Structure 1
Amino acid sequence: MTTLTFNLDINGVQTPLDIAHVYCIGYTGRNKEKTLEHIKELKEIGIPEPSEVPALYPIRLTSLNQLGQMDVIGGKTSGEAEIVLLFGNDETYITVGSDHTDRGLETVDINKSKQVCDKPFASEAWTLSDVKDHWDQLELSSEILINGEWVSYQQHEISAIIPYEEIVKYLEDHEVPFENSIVFAGTVPLLDGFKFGEGFKMRLNDPILNKTIVATYTINQITGDE
């Protein structure tokens, strides 16, 4: 089994974690009616309906990125801040990452649109046990850098996403291996639709314990104008 090792800052301690499997879960909104309404809106702009809701997308291992920069093809790619679960040998961690996606290719094949872009995630994480009792109060937010100016892109408590227990049951039902897996487990609504820029900043905030994980990456368009 091929694995990649990533170092995470866990409460100030550098902790190596071997990752063998990567997954994204799409359409994890807790309000099912709003989720289905969102799917219909996406269909109107050419994005195919998923075969099931939520939808599971296995992702290539080499897409994982902690470099603070990524290369993309074309100008129609964008990130979305996600809660990220990392399952170690005997501990589960939570951090923030970005399901960066090619929005043009998304109208053709959702899975391919995710595969062609790296999946950045933060180099800091928290143990799940530290935050599980106030999970719904955790906050996801993001900003996008457009023409040199940071613009608010997302801001919401993760109560907008299905609860942790439902995420785990969904993964179990789909026979996802937990050990040495990383799961991009859901995002919160965009404030004003898709935008495209040259940088992305994402935050996971815990207002109860007064701590925040922040990660930023630059987006380097290597070819293509569309």
Structure 2
Amino acid sequence: MTALEFEIIGEGTLVSVEVTHMYNAGYAGRDQAAVKHHIDELAELGVPAPTTTPSLYPVSSYLARQSDRVEAQHERTSGEAEWGIVIVGPGEDDVLLTVACDHTDRALEVHGVAWSKNAGPDMLGRRAWRLSSLAGRADDLRLRAWVGAERTLIQDGRVGELLSPQYWLEVLAERGERQEGVALISGTIPMIAGVDQFSDRWEVELLDESTGESSVVRYDVDRMPTPIG
């Protein structure tokens, strides 16, 4: 389990939770025809197609992280701009929405997406909204990512491009898993063509343009030492 702490936007209060179950959504765009096209593109790169879409991958709860550093075993790892929901209690006001970045092992991805999701951390922001406080405008939140020290834009979209937090809350409820300590991140939006994702720095922002409030995760990617043996 991992202990996380969030500053609640609009309140200034702090909420703590121990993550007991962690999930990664995949192939979770609302336009499933575009998702099918993306799956076909990945297949050409050797990434196996999912058996169903959208997909949901359980990952180890200790992969939920709030940190400024990721250790990578090789040079073919990268992040993904996502949002995350974290359930911190039993009530309707106890679902938090924050920014997330799924740091994925791309070399392992060709052998199994679920394996690759368990090979890197899920980085979560330190600020979050109560989902109920967004009054139906969650879809309008802007989701962006930059790479490198020069902050090259690599992703730019909206929460509404992805299946909604409410969709996944209903999936969790159907599975009997909508409970305190459960966290889920959303799957990602398309990357901008021609930008190198294999960077030593990732930054992702979830921005409410109507208020200027945001949640940001930034981290450096450090290569681990060469193993012996």
Matches within 5 A, 1:161-172: 161-172=162-173
TM-score by length of 2: 0.90
1:63 matched to 2:63:
yes
Higher strand share: 1
RMSD of equivalent CA atoms: 1.6
Q: Which residue is 1:215 aligned to?
A: 217
Q: Which moved more, 1:30-39 or 1:183-192?
A: 183-192
Q: Per-residue displacement from partner, 1:63-110 (whole Å, max 9, x unpaired)?
A: 122121010110000000111000111300000111110001100111
SS in 2 for 1:43: helix
Quote how far apart the aligned CAs of 1:165 are. Answer: 2.9
Matches within 5 A, 1:133-212: 133-145=136-148, 148-192=149-193, 195-212=197-214
Question: Structure 2 regions of 5+ residues with no counterpart?
Answer: none
Runs of 4+ off more than 4 Å:
none
Q: Report the number of matched residues.
A: 220
* 1:74 and 1:223 in contact (8 A); partners too: no
- Letter of the structure 2 residue corresponding to residue 29 of structure 1: G
Q: Which moved more, 1:98-107 or 1:57-66?
A: 57-66
Quote how far apart the aligned CAs of 1:31 are. Answer: 0.5
Quote how far apart the aligned CAs of 1:136 are. Answer: 1.4
- Letter of the structure 2 residue corresponding to residue 137 of structure 1: D
Structure 1 residues 132 and 45: alpha-carbon distance in aligned structure 2, compared to 1, 3 A threshold:
farther
Matches within 5 A, 1:70-149: 70-89=70-89, 90=91, 91-145=94-148, 148-149=149-150
Q: Separation in 2 of the partners of 1:29 and 1:132?
A: 22
* 2:2 and 2:65 in contact (8 A); partners too: no
Quote how far apart the aligned CAs of 1:223 are. Answer: 4.1
Structure 1 residues 23 and 144: alpha-carbon distance in aligned structure 2, compared to 1, 3 A threshold:
same
Quote how far apart the aligned CAs of 1:180 are. Answer: 1.2
SS in 2 for 1:166: helix
* 1:29 and 1:160 in contact (8 A); partners too: yes
Quote how far apart the aligned CAs of 1:162 are. Answer: 1.5
Q: Which residue is 1:53 aligned to?
A: 53
Question: Structure 1 regions of 5+ residues with no counterpart?
Answer: none
Structure 1 residues 4 and 172: alpha-carbon distance in aligned structure 2, compared to 1, 3 A threshold:
same
Q: Separation in 2 of the partners of 1:171 and 1:186?
A: 16
Q: Which moved more, 1:42-51 or 1:171-180?
A: 171-180
